[in-house]
Homo-oligomer: A and B are copies of this chain.
Amino acid sequence: MPEPPSEAGDGSAYAELRERFGEISDLGRARALLAWDERTMMPPGGAAARAEQTATLVRVRHERLTSDDLGRLLEGLRDWSEGLEYDSNEACMIRAALREWEKARRVPGDLRAELARAASIGETAWETARRESDYAAFVPHLERNLELARRYAECFEGFEDVGSAYDALLDDYEPGMRTAEMRALLGRLRDGLRPLLEAVRAADQVDDAPLHGAFPVEIQRELMRELASALPLEPGSWRLDESTHPFSTSIGEGDVRITTRHDPAYIGAALWSVLHEAGHGIYEAGTDPALRRTPIGHPVSLGFHESQSRLWENWVGRGRAYIEWLHPRLAAAFPDQLGGATAEDLFRAANRVEPSLIRVEADELTYNLHIALRFELELELIEGELELAELPQAWNARMAAYLGVEVPDDARGVLQDVHWAAGAFGYFPTYALGNLIAAQLWELAGAEIAELDAQVRAGELAPLREWLGRRLYRHGAKFMPRELAERVLGGSFEVAPLVRHLEHKLGEVYRLD
């Protein structure tokens, strides 16, 4: 590889770049620890100080990321990096750094501060509005967030092929993804799943009683620790805690943290959240160590990230093979609660479809329809095609059309999610994209790992983890998601594999034709 241009004397500009991004990465990871601690360990009295500490770390990191010095350093390395092999870590790192620097520089500090402030105020207002099911009280905050989101999007005029406000917003969560493609994917997905939902609703219903009952939390804790330990996570490099909303975070190499929650009346809450969050963690842990503390040392996008949580939760965790492995363990921990339920009963219970009001409680099929609805509405809001005054009606009408459910109040309707309250427009569709990617990967895994099913049934998950690591995890964020899809999925994002997967599984569960 050609020598990198030198800034002065024997110091290499590339080494200097590594150094600077190492610091930027450390500041981001320290902030992740503050956030993890806030949600799992912090005494409530520490909240005000923690908000200030977090704001400082975010600001200091941002200052370093957007500095003139760093810009000059990157410019100086641009030509050199273009002479390197496209796939080399160095070339990928400089490409990613240039993109990150430019995106960060386009947003004035004032606007960024305003966005953070409005998000924080919006979240607080949303908590009250949701509690009181008072959409009207929430409208001014939503209006403010929308206005700021449009102003934010304007900063990206002329950036790459960004052609609309929603393009710009989406790019923060799924770099390079554009509205037109997302609209086409989610439209096809919605249309592809609705006949399946019809068929399921017409079939004999499935009994999920084995998952409900009295599940003492102490025993749940022990079982979850056992299940997590059986996942392909390196011993001594992760921990499992509890939080109101389960989440996953990576504090640095060798330090993945996942959380779960225990519902004493439903074992599923803990069971599949452990698998879901562990999926995120397995992906984080799989990045090539050579990329750590660089701008590409992490999963590439929210869509790919969610593909791994879903893959481990739904394709592994709700698949027949894993449930056959799980069944004796669950029965040993909860003999009475499980009654005489067989592995087959458990498999059917785990895959029960039930259109319902709340996204985070939705089953594997209807979840995607929740997302399609949110995507359509937030796109219309950003594009000014839908007035805020009409949002609840539009929400309720689409809930009836897509899911066949009646929304009784806004708390269980348009006010249920925090995303818009926090100014996060463009985030929702990555959840469904994750399902598409998971389905595509699973078909490939099935074709390439001869004994996959038998391995999972025996609780041998390492081969799948190895395959995913080689195929996806190790790349970190070296390539843009679209490029990664070409390399990893052998093409573009597709709807058909997810529809096939659900048709096949639900066909068995509901004994369709």
Chain A residues within CB distance 8 Å of chain B: 22-23, 26-27, 29-30, 33-34, 37, 41-50, 52-53, 55-57, 59-60, 234, 236-239, 251-256, 292-293
Contacts and interface: CB of A to CB of B under 8 A. Distances in A.
Contact of A56 (B27, B34, B37, B50): B27
A292 B49 contact: yes
A251 B33 contact: no
A234 B45 CA distance: 9
B49 A252 contact: yes
A65 B48 CA distance: 23
B239 A45 contact: no
A23 B54 CA distance: 10
Copies in the assembly, this chain:
2
A45 B293 contact: no
Mostly helix, strand, loop or mixed at chain A's interface? helix
Contact of A49 (B41, B49, B53, B251): B251
Nearest to A237: B45
B48 A253 contact: yes
Contacts of A237: 43-46
A253 B29 CA distance: 22
Nearest to A60: B60
Given A22-B52, A50-B252, A50-B255, A57 B45 contact: no
A30 B34 contact: yes
B23 A56 contact: yes
Nearest to A241: B41
Contact of A33 (B34, B60, B253): B34
Contacts of A48: 253-254
Contacts of A293: 52
A400 B59 CA distance: 57
A49 B29 contact: yes
Contact of A26 (B22, B41, B43, B56): B56
A239 B43 contact: yes
Nearest to A26: B56
A512 B31 CA distance: 58
Contacts of A41: 41, 239
A22 B48 CA distance: 13
Contacts of A254: 43-49
A375 B431 CA distance: 62
A237 to B, nearest CB: 3
Contacts of A292: 49
Nearest to A234: B45
Contacts of A60: 23, 27, 60
Contacts of A253: 45-46, 48-49
10 contacts: A23-B56, A23-B59, A27-B57, A30-B34, A43-B236, A43-B256, A45-B255, A49-B251, A49-B253, A53-B252
Contacts of A37: 33, 37
A140 to B, nearest CB: 29
Given A43-B237, A43-B239, A45-B236, A53 B29 contact: yes
Given A23-B60, A26-B52, A43-B237, 11 more contacts: A22-B52, A22-B56, A26-B55, A41-B239, A43-B238, A44-B254, A45-B238, A46-B252, A46-B255, A47-B254, A49-B292
A27 B54 CA distance: 9
A508 to B, nearest CB: 39
B49 A255 contact: yes
A48 B29 CA distance: 13
A438 to B, nearest CB: 27
Nearest to A52: B26
Contacts of A57: 26-27, 30
A63 to B, nearest CB: 10
A262 to B, nearest CB: 20
A317 B150 CA distance: 61
A316 to B, nearest CB: 23
Contacts of A47: 254
